[in-house]
């Protein structure tokens, strides 16, 4: 089992629950429709990686930066910034045929995470920023979500039993795109203008 660092301890998540189409601007940039119900899909533990790659088995990858929560004892206890990597061309082909598109999301290295830190004791929204080669590429916070973290937790618990250590990825704001080898990605989890944790990846071929 692969692991992540949560509050300076190694944790092996049993599964990763992902929320799709949770930011209107991102839905619009991909030409999708706003869903009637929360979009939920899974990534297995084996999808986690530590290195960012531009391709997988010859297919180009696209990045999506997301706020990610760690689940413990019935609630979200820590948060991180993560990257959801997607084989966008494959996903589009599968969606066009009306087929499940997990094949485009579950490969090894399809989920990258910063260390998880304690949730801030603040009413300010949790946010993220993603810079690529020092240019701000994605930015968003929980106020822009169609479904708040509290609503996500309640709905996921109705659909998929959560176990201690599970991770929940909450969707991505606009600004997604292709990963290019050599690019330097710098992600940050933010609150009230402060960076709570940062992480950097250099994209490999």
- Record the tokens describing residue 63, joined without a space: 């990045």
Does the pLDDT value for residue 24 go beyond 90? no
In angstroms, how far is CA 138 from the centroid of its own chain?
12
At residue 162, the pLDDT reads: 97
Annotated domain spans of the chain: 4-123+142-179
DSSP state of 23: B
With residue 151 as reference, give the H or E element that holds it: helix 149-159
Does the pLDDT value for residue 134 go beyond 90? yes
138-187 residue pLDDT tens: 999 999 999 999 999 999 999 999 999 999 999 999 999 999 999 999 99
At residue 147, the pLDDT reads: 93
Q: Are 138 and 130 in contact (CB under 8 A)?
A: yes
DSSP state of 64: -
- Counting residues of the chain whose pLDDT is more than 70, the rounded percentage is 99
- Counting residues of the chain whose pLDDT is more than 90, the rounded percentage is 89
- Record the tokens describing residue 151, joined without a space: 């609503």
b/e 28-56 (16+ beta carbons within 10 angstroms → b): eeeeeeeeeebbeeebbbebbbeebbbeb
Angstrom CA distances, 157 to 14, 51, 71, 79, 166, stand at 15, 31, 11, 18, 12
Burial category of 135 from C-beta neighbours within 10 Å (exposed 0-12, middle 13-18, buried 19 and up): exposed
Does the pLDDT value for residue 102 go beyond 80? yes
Q: How far apart are CA 144 and CA 121, in angstroms?
A: 20
Would you identify the CATH topology of the domain 4-123+142-179? Fumarylacetoacetate hydrolase; domain 2 (3.90.850)
At residue 27, the pLDDT reads: 66
Q: Is the dihedral of CA 83, 20, 167, 104 positive or negative?
A: negative
Q: How far apart are CA 37 and CA 52, in angstroms?
A: 31
Angstrom CA distances, 103 to 59, 93, 94, stand at 12, 11, 9
- The pTM for the full model equals 0.95
Lowest mean pLDDT among 25-39, 47-61, 131-145: 25-39
């Amino acid at each position: 089992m692969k692991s992540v660092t949560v509050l300076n301890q190694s944790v092996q998540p049993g599964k990763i629950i992902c929320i799709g189409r949770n930011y209107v601007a991102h839905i619009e940039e991909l030409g999708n429709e706003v869903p009637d119900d929360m979009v939920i899909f899974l990534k297995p533990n084996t999808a986690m990686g530590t290195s960012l790659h531009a391709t997988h088995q010859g297919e180009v990858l696209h990045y999506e930066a997301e706020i990610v929560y760690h689940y413990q004892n019935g609630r979200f206890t820590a948060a991180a910034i993560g990257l959801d990597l997607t084989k966008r061309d494959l996903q589009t082909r599968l969606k066009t045929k009306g087929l499940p598109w997990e094949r485009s999301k579950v490969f090894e290295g399809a989920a990258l995470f910063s260390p998880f830190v304690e949730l801030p004791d603040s009413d300010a929204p949790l946010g993220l920023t993603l810079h690529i080669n020092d240019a701000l590429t994605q930015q968003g916070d929980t106020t822009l979500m169609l479904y708040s973290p509290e609503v996500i937790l309640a709905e996921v618990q109705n659909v998929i039993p959560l176990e201690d250590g599970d991770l929940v990825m909450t969707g991505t704001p606009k600004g997604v795109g292709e990963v290019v080898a050599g690019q330097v990605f710098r992600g940050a989890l933010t609150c009230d203008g402060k960076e709570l944790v940062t992480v950097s990846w250099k994209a490999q071929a």
